[in-house]
């Protein structure tokens, strides 16, 4: 056998095992890489199984195929256009674009639109596999539904992808067929002490035999709650409430106040029937070792005069830790006391390990709309750093990190005809990413104001308050990189448009972001240099994800459009990957491994024959 024959065999073997070698080499690089990062996920480098990659919500993927060196060569793989939607009844509020980060699992992309539709798409060519399309107009049969549409996450658990539709029904859909294999209807109906309404943008979370869910409804008079159900029997196991029942509760939270940073306050929230809010709207995280559930709570309802709800209003606008088996409060940290600016946290809480003074500490990371980063001890809820401010100086905010020195009787009437900055939508109104001891935080530079008008609230018409963005002044977006060891700002960049709803992700030294105008950014995590920017001229309101198709080819996937703010369009799903030229060095390395292996095997075989 001559050398040319050896070469041909090597070439043949290379073409046969190219995909396998890609996976093996990527995995080896991954093993070498993870030793240098503070939090190691057990998730496959080829999948994006959770909304923020892992169950800790870091938004960090350890893949290395698409990297800082080749991200400038991203090319379009395919575009999938979602189906048109049947007309909605006039009283249903349509979605503000597609807000769900796609999941990528075993070569299939799973994504939900704002119209509550779930699609399974072949990652290889963008062809549809199945879809789930509930009849939205039927949602109106649910009495407590707020008639608002939004969808912000999906969850994969075992052999199904789970979605919670806007009227709070939970469905488990078979990963391969899309068949409904689990159903738990109207989980926000019959909430004790509630006389308001809800909508539910986030999918449930799972722990052992528990299904954990919640719904949003601060602006609709909904009482804040978290519910845990037995996954097999579908019976309620526990419920925890972040606000008192309508009409108030004597000395609400008085005994539990000692578990956090706020002193007990007699008659907290008062006793009006308008009391509501504190609903949890963001990705939750779980520490399995301590069996703790971490979550964020929203602002108190601000549709009525806040002076009628005196006190700190526990446990609104807070980071909360619950015993995951019982729902018992372990600790809380209230960010915005007696909140009248809607300066609550949202989108996600991040559980990670950080190094501070050369000591590893388990930490919870969250950002508020008022442009503060909070880094707290995951075991105690105590601050590791003082609240870290980033971005422009705040203007005209009330009770900004004042805790027990707050004005407990403040009213939002002071903002009628006045502005405050950041607005009720931030500041921060999208998910951060945390990687290797650095938090990457999106923010939008826009102010807010308050209008008075009659509005329907809890089934009656009241003289109420409506919060609006001040769009008469210039707006833009910013991204901040903050060192979690020192609390210092590493770098910041400004982009022309706002970042709203689209969460950031980090992978292979690249930070990915999508702004409101639909520009896709790839940014160097070391100094904030923009490595690539691609305009899609459609509303960007969902973050990207990175995963592989069935052949192991890595790609970046993200939706665009899908709402009525920029015209009634169903939206698209985009897939991009690096081109062949950017993979050439990788190919040569794989070929060299194959060739060397074959030559070595030939030499060994000849020696054995001679012997």
What's the whole-number average pLDDT of the chain?
90
> Using only C-alpha atoms, what is the Rg of the chain?
25
Q: What would you measure as the largest C-alpha separation in the chain, in angstroms?
A: 98
DSSP string of 253-319?
Answer: TTTGGGGTTS---TTTT-S-TT--B----EE-EEETTTTEEEEE--PBP-SS-GGGS-S--TTSSEE
40-44, 114-118, 186-190, 318-322: least confident range: 40-44
Residue-level pLDDT at 610: 56
**Alpha carbons 408 and 252: distance in angstroms, whole number:** 15
Could you give the angle at which helices 584-610 and 3-34 cross, rounded to 10 degrees? Answer: 120
Residue 325 has pLDDT above 90, yes or no: yes
* pLDDT band per the 50, 70, 90 thresholds, residue 608: low
Residue 135 has pLDDT above 80, yes or no: yes
Query: Which tokens hold the place of 564?
Result: 């009525």
**Alpha carbons 428 and 445: distance in angstroms, whole number:** 9
Residue-level pLDDT at 607: 56
| Of the candidates 339, 412, 414, 326, the residue with the CA atom closest to the CA atom of residue 370 | 339
Reported as type and span, the H/E element at residue 591 is: helix 584-610
Contact partners, residue 327, CB within 8 Å, separation at least 6: 226, 228, 237, 238, 239, 240
- Residue range 138-154: average pLDDT? 95
* pLDDT band per the 50, 70, 90 thresholds, residue 585: very low
Residue-level pLDDT at 563: 77
Residue 580 has pLDDT above 70, yes or no: no
* pLDDT band per the 50, 70, 90 thresholds, residue 590: very low
| Of the candidates 510, 547, 590, the residue with the CA atom closest to the CA atom of residue 44 | 547
Residue-level pLDDT at 567: 61
Q: What is the pLDDT of residues 430-463, one digit of tens each?
A: 999 999 999 999 999 999 999 999 999 999 999 9
- Report H helices in 369-475: none
Residue 264 has pLDDT above 60, yes or no: yes
Residue-level pLDDT at 85: 87
Q: What is the pLDDT of residues 107-118, one digit of tens each?
A: 999 999 999 999
- Residue range 280-288: average pLDDT? 97
Note whether 578 and 65 are within 8 A (CB). yes
Q: What is the pLDDT of residues 65-94, one digit of tens each?
A: 999 999 999 999 999 999 998 888 889 999
Residue-level pLDDT at 566: 58
Note whether 283 and 290 are within 8 A (CB). no
Residue-level pLDDT at 405: 98
Residue-level pLDDT at 536: 96
Q: What is the pLDDT of residues 523-573, one digit of tens each?
A: 999 999 999 999 999 999 999 999 999 999 999 999 999 977 656 678 999
| DSSP class of 395 | B
């Amino acid at each position: 056998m001559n050398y040319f024959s050896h070469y041909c065999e090597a070439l043949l073997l290379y073409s046969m095992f190219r995909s396998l070698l890609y996976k093996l080499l990527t995995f080896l690089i991954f093993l070498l890489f993870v030793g240098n990062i503070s939090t190691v996920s057990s998730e496959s480098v080829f999948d994006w199984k959770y909304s923020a990659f892992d169950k800790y919500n870091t938004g960090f993927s350890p893949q290395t195929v698409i990297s800082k060196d080749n991200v400038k060569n991203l090319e379009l793989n395919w575009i999938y256009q979602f189906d048109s939607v049947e007309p909605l009844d006039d009283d249903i509020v349509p979605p503000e674009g597609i807000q769900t980060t796609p999941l990528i699992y075993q070569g299939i992309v799973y994504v939900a639109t704002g119209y509550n539709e779930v699609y399974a798409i072949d990652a290889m060519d963008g062809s549809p596999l199945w879809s789930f399309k509930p009849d939205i107009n039927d949602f109106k049969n649910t009495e407590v539904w707020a008639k608002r549409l939004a969808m912000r996450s999906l969850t994969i658990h075992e052999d199904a992808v789970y979605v919670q539709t806007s009227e709070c029904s939970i469905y488990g859909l078979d990963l391969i067929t899309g068949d409904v294999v689990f159903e738990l209807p109207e989980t926000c109906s019959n909430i004790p002490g509630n006389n308001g309404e809800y909508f539910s943008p986030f999918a449930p979370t799972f722990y052992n035999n528990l299904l954990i869910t919640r719904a949003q409804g601060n602006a609709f008079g909904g009482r804040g709650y978290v519910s845990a159900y037995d996954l097999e029997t579908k019976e309620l196991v526990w419920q925890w409430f972040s606000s008192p029942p309508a009409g108030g509760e004597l000395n609400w939270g008085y005994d539990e106040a000692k578990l956090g940073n706020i002193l007990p306050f007699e008659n907290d929230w008062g006793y009006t029937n308008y009391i509501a809010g504190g609903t949890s709207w963001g990705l939750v995280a779980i520490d399995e070792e301590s069996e703790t559930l971490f979550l964020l709570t929203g602002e108190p309802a601000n549709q009525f005069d806040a002076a009628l709800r005196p006190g700190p209003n526990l446990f609104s606008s807070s980071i909360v830790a619950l015993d995951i088996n019982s729902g018992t409060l372990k600790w809380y940290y209230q960010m915005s006391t007696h909140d009248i600016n809607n300066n609550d946290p949202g989108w996600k809480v991040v559980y990670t390990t950080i190094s501070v003074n050369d000591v590893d500490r388990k930490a919870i990371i969250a950002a508020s709309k008022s442009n503060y980063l909070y880094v707290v001890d995951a075991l105690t809820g105590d601050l590791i750093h003082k609240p870290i401010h980033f971005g422009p100086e705040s203007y005209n905010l009330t009770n900004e990190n004042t805790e027990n020195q707050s004005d407990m009787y403040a009213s939002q009437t002071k903002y009628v005809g006045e502005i405050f900055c950041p607005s009720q939508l931030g500041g921060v109104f999208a998910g951060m990413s945390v990687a290797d001891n650095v938090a990457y935080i999106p923010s939008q530079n826009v102010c807010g104001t308050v209008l008075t008008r009659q509005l329907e609230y809890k089934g009656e018409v009241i003289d109420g308050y409506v919060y609006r963005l001040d769009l008469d002044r210039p707006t833009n977006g910013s991204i901040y990189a903050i060192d979690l060891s020192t609390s210092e700002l590493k770098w910041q960049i400004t982009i022309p448009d706002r970042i709203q709803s689209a969460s950031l992700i980090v992978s292979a030294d690249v930070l990915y972001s999508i702004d409101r105008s639909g520009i896709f950014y790839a940014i160097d995590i070391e100094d904030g240099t923009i490595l690539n920017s691609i305009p899609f001229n459609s509303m960007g309101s969902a973050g990207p994800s990175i995963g592989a198709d069935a052949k192991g080819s890595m790609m970046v996937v993200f939706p665009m459009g899908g709402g009525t703010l920029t015209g009634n369009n169903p939206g698209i799903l985009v897939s991009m990957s690096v081109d062949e030229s950017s993979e050439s060095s990788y190919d040569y390395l794989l070929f060299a491994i194959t060739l060397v292996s074959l030559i070595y095997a030939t030499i060994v075989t000849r020696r054995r024959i001679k012997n």
